[in-house]
Structure 1
Amino acid sequence: MMKNYLYSLGLFVTAIGSFNGIAQETIRISTGEYPPVYSEKLPGNGKILHIVRQAFAQMDVKVEYGFFPWSRTLELAKNNVWDATCCWGLTPERSQYFSYTDEVTTREYVFYHLKSYPFDWHSVDDLTGIEIGITYNYSYGHKLDSAVSAGKLLAEYASSDEINFRKLLGGRIKVFPIDRKLGSQLLSSLFKPAEVPLLTYHPKPIVLTTVGLMVSKTSKQVDYIIETFNEGLKRYKASGEYDRYIAELERSENKINQ
């Protein structure tokens, strides 16, 4: 009787171990539509999400992406409905609830504007009285975020970067902050060839931000996911594939400011 009990207990423990292994085999990541960078319709879901997938693949971990409105992606990860969310810049507010992986990439935010509008700036104070397009739930660095939150600037909100670019072309806003490379890609992929040359960007960066995955601090797997991804990204970079993908992004950039 005792032998049968111990044998059954051993099978149970083995089954639990196997189940845990299966549970950790796939990481579920919430994200949103951000073409041409992220999209459910793009091959590999876009190059950045492809990099994330390949980093996890180095550790024999699969990735499942779920595409939602951006505000919901945060809530799904914060409440551990999904394992992580990609990809976000570090802010004091987000760091209260999330732990960050190592950076996947770096973003350089600049102000886009019509070439016909003589825009120049050196500090946030220079932006007073200028209609600025802001995309909901995005961060543009502590200084600009704080000035907008305090009501010191004329912020006009929109639900997407594409809408803000259309407002910019229509003269409904004067400037629009966005990652320089992403802005160029959006314009070249979503707008008419005759519209793209109408816009340019100011060379002064608003902020340089690092972007990575976020995992809820309340997740039981937070350390596992962070450590697994960081090690996988390290191996992926060491293989040379990461640099090749970044170089491809650079080649695809439309040099609209030249």
Structure 2
Amino acid sequence: MKRRHCLAACALLAEPVGGQALRPLAIGFDEGSPPTMYSVGGMPAARGIYPAVVAAAFASLGLECELQALPFKRMLSAVDASHMWAGAVIRTPEREQRWLFSQPYFLEKLAVFSGGAPYRGIADLGGKRVGVIRGWSYGDEFDGGRRRGDFLCEEVASDSLNFAKLLRGRLDYVVATELGGRLLARAPAYAGRVVESPVPLGATPIHLAAHRLQESVAALLAQFNAAAERLHREGRIEALVRREMASAAALLP
């Protein structure tokens, strides 16, 4: 897609400033989930696998994006107010009432971590304290058990906070992305003390999304889908994953 066509498609998504060129498309990501999406040193720029993939897809369309890292719930509120797009979310029935979604561009595997307590399936969470990220959804089965009160979820802003609570005995289990949890479990503070269950919690497809009332959203999402598919075919997403994993690992204390 040529740059002028892409800019025309997003003309109603960002207001011109003083008659100048359109502002970059604002896309929000969680600030505390390395290596998939995070910030460094409190800076607002989003880093990680998901921002890298989204940026590469839009760059191939000739569209500049502003990738912002912020608390996940604050990002969700900004999307509901049509102030930005959601860069990496899963589809839920509640969100589908308000948002339009891209095709999945990544499959996020979820793992269960503990200090040694066995995990053979979601029934083992019954009556336990489970650490999760504030505002996240973890799939229908987990979310349903949470609503029923089968287990108690404690929300924090990052996996590292949950791992610290786990070591202090304030949690029985932590649910984290496989990539993020494994990366953190290798850090000196947790190595040998935090155990990943061999049984995964599951996997959730990751989407780009925006409020359905915004103009031209469907057209831009279709173009993003095609661009992301090209990245997959060319092996570029795998290369981005390797690069971002190495960058996040270098930040471990």
TMscore range, shorter length: 0.7 to 0.9
Q: Which residue does 1:27 correspond to in 2? A: 25
Q: Which residue does 1:237 correspond to in 2? A: 232
Answer whether contact 1:110 1:201 (CA < 8 A) is retained.
yes
Distance 1:118 1:223, change over 3 A: closer
Distance 1:220 1:194, change over 3 A: closer
Q: Which residue does 1:134 correspond to in 2? A: 132
Distance, in Å, in 2 between the alignment partners of 1:69 and 1:194 is 24
Q: Deviations over 1:151-179 (max 9, x none)?
A: 12133332332211111111111111111
Candidates 215, 220, 224, aligned match of 1:220:
215
- 2:95 aligned partner, one-letter code: R
Q: Which residue does 2:55 correspond to in 1? A: 53
Alignment of 1:1-258 (within 5 A): 20=11, 26-37=24-35, 38-41=37-40, 45-82=47-84, 84-114=85-115, 117-122=116-121, 124-188=122-186, 191=187, 193-248=188-243
Distance, in Å, in 1 between the alignment partners of 2:108 and 2:154 is 22
Q: What SS does structure 2 have at the residue aligned with 1:66?
A: strand
Distance, in Å, in 1 between the alignment partners of 2:68 and 2:33 is 15
Q: Which residue does 2:5 correspond to in 1? A: none
Distance, in Å, in 1 between the alignment partners of 2:80 and 2:220 is 14
Distance, in Å, in 2 between the alignment partners of 1:251 and 1:33 is 18
Distance, in Å, in 2 between the alignment partners of 1:31 and 1:48 is 8
**Alpha carbon RMSD of aligned pairs, Å?**
2.8
Answer whether contact 1:39 1:46 (CA < 8 A) is retained.
yes
Q: Kindly state the Cα deviation for residue 249 of structure 1 after the two structures are TM-superposed.
A: 5.8
Distance 1:56 1:154, change over 3 A: same
Q: Kindly state the Cα deviation for residue 194 of structure 1 after the two structures are TM-superposed.
A: 4.6
Q: Deviations over 1:40-95 (max 9, x none)?
A: 4399722321111010011111111223221111111122112x111111222222
Structure 2: which 5+ residue stretches go unaligned? Answer: 1-7
Distance 1:24 1:237, change over 3 A: farther
Identity of aligned residues (%): 23
Distance, in Å, in 2 between the alignment partners of 1:120 and 1:223 is 41
Answer whether contact 2:184 2:190 (CA < 8 A) is retained.
no
Distance, in Å, in 1 between the alignment partners of 2:149 and 2:133 is 16
Q: Kindly state the Cα deviation for residue 252 of structure 1 after the two structures are TM-superposed.
A: 8.2
Structure 1: which 5+ residue stretches go unaligned? Answer: 1-16
TM-score, structure 2 as length reference: 0.80
Quick check: which has more Rg, 1 or 2?
A: 1
Distance, in Å, in 1 between the alignment partners of 2:174 and 2:157 is 13
Q: Kindly state the Cα deviation for residue 205 of structure 1 after the two structures are TM-superposed.
A: 1.6
TM-score, structure 1 as length reference: 0.78
Q: Kindly state the Cα deviation for residue 135 of structure 1 after the two structures are TM-superposed.
A: 2.2
Distance, in Å, in 2 between the alignment partners of 1:44 and 1:132 is 27
Distance, in Å, in 2 between the alignment partners of 1:174 and 1:200 is 12
Distance, in Å, in 2 between the alignment partners of 1:102 and 1:163 is 31
Distance, in Å, in 1 between the alignment partners of 2:48 and 2:248 is 14
- 1:33 aligned partner, one-letter code: E
Distance 1:39 1:159, change over 3 A: closer
Q: What SS does structure 1 have at the residue aligned with 2:62?
A: coil
